[in-house]
Amino acid sequence: MKREYLELQQVSTHNLKGFDLKIPLNALVLITGPSGSGKSSLAIDTIAQEGKNRLLKILNYDKEFYVTTSYQATFSSSMPPVFALAQGVRNWFPYKTVGEFLGLVKVLEVLFLLEGEVFCASCGAFNRVHSISQVISWYETLKEGTKFYFLVPLLEITPKAIEYLVSQGFVKYLIDDREIDLSEEQLPQSFKEVFLILDRMVKEGKGRDRLVENLRISFSLSNGRFFLKTTEGLQAQFSLRPVCFRCGSILPVGWSYCKTCGGRGYKQKVACDTCDGLKLREEVLKSRIGDFSIEEILRLDLKNFKEFLSRFSEIKGLDTFIKSLLYKLEQAEFLEIAYLSLSTPVFKLSVGEKKLIEVLQVLTADLTHCLFILDEPTLGLEVEQRVKVLEFLKNLVKKGNSLLVVEHDPFFIYEADFIIELGFEGGEKGGYLVKADFNPLYFEKNCTLTSAYFSGEKRIVKKEKTRETEILEFSLPLGRVKILSNRINLIYGRPGSGKTKVFHQLFEFLVNQDKQVVFSDLSVFRRKEDWVIQYLNLWDLLREVLSQLPSARVKGLTKKHFSFTSKEGVCVGCKGKGKKIYKEEETVIEVLCEECLGKRLSLEVLNLEYKGFKIFEVLDFTIEEAFQVFSNLPKVKEKLMHLIDIGLGYLKLSQEVQTLSGGEKSRLSLIKNLTEKKQVEYVFLEFPFEGLHLEDINRLHQWIEKMVAKPMTFIILETNPLALFLADFLTEVKHQKIIFQGFFEDWLKAQPETLKEKFAFYQRFVAKF
């Protein structure tokens, strides 16, 4: 069969250098390259965006449609439907539960309406609420000629109430299982159970119309409650309204939510006192489907919920939907997250658990001939789960799908069908198509940065250190933790193991002990309009100098005129936004401000010169270029030098921080926090290898080694297998307990042979000296 390709020409999105590319379909295609080389620009910002635009054109076929894009490329081939999963994990609503996210609660709600028994808070009875079609269906199952009673329970079982019904012509009753005609007999002095015999019926030609008429009458007599009982003893109980069959009390209608929390389940991450985080009213939680109460079902883990749900896989109309959910639950077991309960809220999930659920949700959609685009699917996953995700992706290809994955894990690269490498560096020095070829042709000649690591020509270098150093021990809620002073300490474990808790508890303990601690915190990237130069507070340092320039003083410019937010400083044309926004029908169009060309400041400031460069040009400097110009300013020089050492020298000063990858943000945050403290004892890094190529990891590790020598103590939370070989001391967490503390070599000796083999693959990329 002739292979099909996705063909692109003149790909120039962001820093991509206008190359042509043919990407094979129905294959596992991997994109790799150093940070800032343009991987996400190609996969997400170009290919995924084109797929989105093509879909929008179809959906808006009946009206004029404008497509505005920031990508630049020509597509000369057809394209499968595209599903993209960008880098990192989405900011899900924190109180959304696993069951809600995976669609399990929704099917549970439908099952409750069809098969549920509603709990009556007044008498404790369980009731089913039926539709007329369900009554008709029961009738249709009877054989022709079958005789049966239409029995109605009374709203009030008193002699006076019965006497009134007799006066209205309703004279036949079933009293304590004895048929009595009260027009001929007296009502017994004592009785326990009474039913009005509304009709004696036969399954025959016009019986259905007669049944429907009896249903109508039952609404006025008993709020739609009745028994159908054959003379052979077969019987069925029906309620056409949400009314208790036993006592007549009104029942909660459908899937009603807790009134205390309004269905949120939590407030400030504390479970609601009324529903205990389950979000439903007490009557609903006590109701049941089959042998389980709704509360018990919501507390089931995914594995046991699969067993529960399989009982209902043959329900007409729901069978296809339920079978798709059962497949999703099977894959949850394969990915080893079936221990999660339906009621677990998002805020309690680890990064790895979120990533696995996201992968599970997207890749179990049971679609074929689609193009799935994934950016860093291994985030937060340890080695065995990485292997399983890879197997998961390969199975999608076998089903006829195409996979385009941005990834740096060496095992993924080694197993890919086709490899695209971008480079040669990041930023303006990146964006080149270095090589694109099928495996194993890609690895021939080892002419790329990545293949050089596979051949052993390049390796991540780890400096051997003596083990003789001070061991510090701390008592935390999850146990006693040991760390090596002035060394690299790794906290490791599977998603959901509790490693993040240990990491944060250790951080809080040291802060409370008034230790000088730095934390790489990604939550601080909230201001969308911030540039790198603002985020690092470099602009505050520079405007102190720039406002003192003779040319600035002559014009009467003060520090306010160098502000991106003050009325004195911002561009008049765009009010400091750097762009103008127009609305054309339902389309929002953003264009660069023609006055400041996106630089946001007034022309007076932008035209000032420093060392022969206009401020306009300065804002376009990369970190490396800025270091050459501002090396005479000590505080500025320190920050810029750290950024270059850590591998971010290609970033532009005026680059928006929201456009950065997770790995870039992590390192940027680290340098910002590190350089704003006079003295640092401990540095905490959370998933520092996220989104990093082998070369980036090498540079980051060398920088960390330099900081350790100052000295500083590093505590790293990471699941990347390479981190185990680069750390000096390991703490493993499992099932919320610390199960190992010591050196990696000792830990590896105790692991199963299968795991040792997996780690042996990664060990080849690290060299010790």
Count Cα neighbours of 499 within 13 Å in the Cβ-side half-sphere: 31
Does some domain include residue 758?
A: yes
| pLDDT at residue 583, rounded to an integer | 67
In whole angstroms, give the CA distance from residue 148 to residue 139: 10
Which residues, 6+ apart, have CB-to-CB distance to 366 below 8 Å? 324, 327
Contact (CB, 8 A) for 122 and 247: yes
Mean pLDDT of the region 259-265:
93
Out of 40-49, 334-343, 353-362, 536-545, which region has the weakest mean confidence (pLDDT)?
353-362
In the chain the first and final C-alpha atoms are separated, in Å, by: 51
**What are the phi and psi torsion angles at 228 (to 5°)?**
-115, 120
Please state, in angstroms and as integers, the Cα–Cα distance from residue 685 to each residue in 64, 521, 630, 669, following that order. Answer: 50, 8, 29, 10
**What are the tokens at 323?**
């079978």
**Under the phi-then-psi rule, with left for phi > 0, alpha for psi from -120 to 50, and beta for the rest, what region is 644?**
alpha
Q: Is residue 446 part of a domain?
A: yes
Handedness of CA 657, 412, 450, 46 (dihedral sign): negative
Long-range contact set of residues 448-453: C-beta below 8 Å, sequence gap at least 24: 448/421, 448/423, 449/33, 449/34, 449/421, 449/423, 449/424, 449/693, 449/694, 449/695, 450/32, 450/33, 450/413, 450/419, 450/421, 450/693, 450/694, 451/421, 453/410, 453/694, 453/695, 453/765
Q: Which amino acid is at 260?
A: T
Is residue 10 domain-resident?
yes
Going by pLDDT thresholds of 50, 70 and 90, the confidence category of residue 522 is low
Residues 155 and 216 both lie in one domain: yes
Of the pLDDT bands very low, low, confident and very high (cuts 50, 70, 90), residue 530 is confident
**What pLDDT score does 658 carry?**
82
- The CATH code of the domain that includes 502 is 3.40.50.300
Let me know: does 515 contact 485? Beta carbons within 8 Å.
no
599 in any annotated domain: yes
In eight-state DSSP terms, residue 311 is G
CATH of residue 156's domain is 3.30.190.20
pLDDT score of 93:
80
pLDDT score of 66: 53
Q: Using one digit for the tens of pLDDT, what is the confidence trace for 739-761?
A: 999 999 999 999 999 999 999 99
Instruction: Residue 664: name the closest of 681, 689, 638, 640 by CA.
Output: 689
Q: 476 Cβ partners below 8 Å, 6+ apart?
A: 502, 505, 506, 509
Q: Which tokens in the block code for residue 675?
A: 């350089």
Report yes or no on 306 lying in a domain: no
Residue 331 in any domain: the answer is no
- For the stretch 200-235, pLDDT in tens is 999 998 899 999 999 999 998 998 999 999 988 889
Q: What percent of the chain has pLDDT over 70?
A: 96
Res. 157 pLDDT band, cuts 50 70 90: confident
Say yes or no: 687 and 617 in one domain: no
502 and 417 in a common domain: no
- Range with the lowest mean pLDDT among 16-30, 350-364, 517-531? 517-531
548 in the same domain as 507: no
Domains in the chain, number: 4
SS3 178: strand
Which CATH number goes with the domain that contains 538?
A: 1.20.1580.10
Strand partners, 717: 491, 686
Same domain for 477 and 444, yes or no, is no
- Residue 43 clears pLDDT 60, i.e. is over it: yes
Mean pLDDT of 18-47: 95
Q: How far apart are CA 450 and CA 161, in angstroms?
A: 88
CA atoms of 429 and 16, how far apart (whole Å):
10
Give me the pLDDT at residue 405, please: 97
Residue 115 placed within a domain: no
Q: How far apart are CA 723 and CA 720, in angstroms?
A: 6
Judgement on whether residues 533 and 653 belong to the same structural domain of the protein? yes
pLDDT averaged over every residue in the chain: 91
pLDDT at 87 over 90: no
d(CA 162, CA 180): 12
Domain match, 144 and 212 both: yes
Q: What pLDDT shows up at residue 124?
A: 93
Give me the pLDDT at residue 546, please.
93
Q: What is the pLDDT of residue 81?
A: 92
Is the model's pLDDT at 663 over the cut of 80? no
Residue 167 structure tokens: 């006066």
Lowest mean pLDDT among 130-139, 358-367, 616-625: 358-367
pLDDT more than 90, % of the chain: 73
Domain termination residue (choose one: 457, 486, 503) = 457
pLDDT reading at 49 higher than 60: yes
Q: Does the structure show a pLDDT above 70 at 700? A: yes
Identify the bridge partners of residue 472 per DSSP, sorted by sequence position.
Answer: 483
Same-domain check for residues 740 and 727: yes
Residues of the domain holding 690: 459-515+681-769
404 lies in the same domain as 503: no
In terms of domains, do 576 and 602 share one?
Answer: yes
- 537 and 614 in one domain? yes
Residue 58 has a pLDDT of 80
Q: Is residue 258 domain-resident? A: no
Question: Domain boundary at 187, 213, 239, which?
Answer: 239
Q: Does 445 share its domain with 505?
A: no
Tell me, what's the pLDDT at 523? Answer: 59
The CA distance from 89 to 376, in Å, is: 10
Q: Is 356 exposed, middle or buried (0-12, 13-18, 19+ CB in 10 A)?
A: buried
434-490 confidence digits (pLDDT tens): 999 999 999 988 889 999 999 999 999 998 887 778 899 999 998 999 999 999 999
What is the model's pLDDT at position 68?
A: 53
pLDDT interval class at 247 (50, 70, 90): confident
Q: What is the pLDDT of residues 562-584, one digit of tens each?
A: 999 899 999 999 998 888 877 66
Q: How far apart are CA 573 and CA 601, in angstroms?
A: 10
Q: What is the model's pLDDT at position 252?
A: 82
pLDDT of amino acid 587 = 57
Instruction: Answer with the one of 239, 264, 282 that is the final residue of a domain.
Output: 239
Whether pLDDT at 98 is above 90: yes
pLDDT at 342: 97
Give the model's pLDDT for residue 592. 86
Residue 362: is its pLDDT beyond 90?
no
Whether 65 has a pLDDT exceeding 60, the answer reads: no
Please report which confidence band the pLDDT of residue 69 belongs to, taking 50, 70 and 90 as the band edges.
Answer: low
Task: Provide the pLDDT for residue 580.
Answer: 83
State residue 205's pLDDT score.
86
Instruction: Decide if pLDDT at 62 tops 60.
Output: no
Q: Tell me the H-state helices in 31-143.
A: 39-42, 49-59, 98-101, 104-115, 132-140
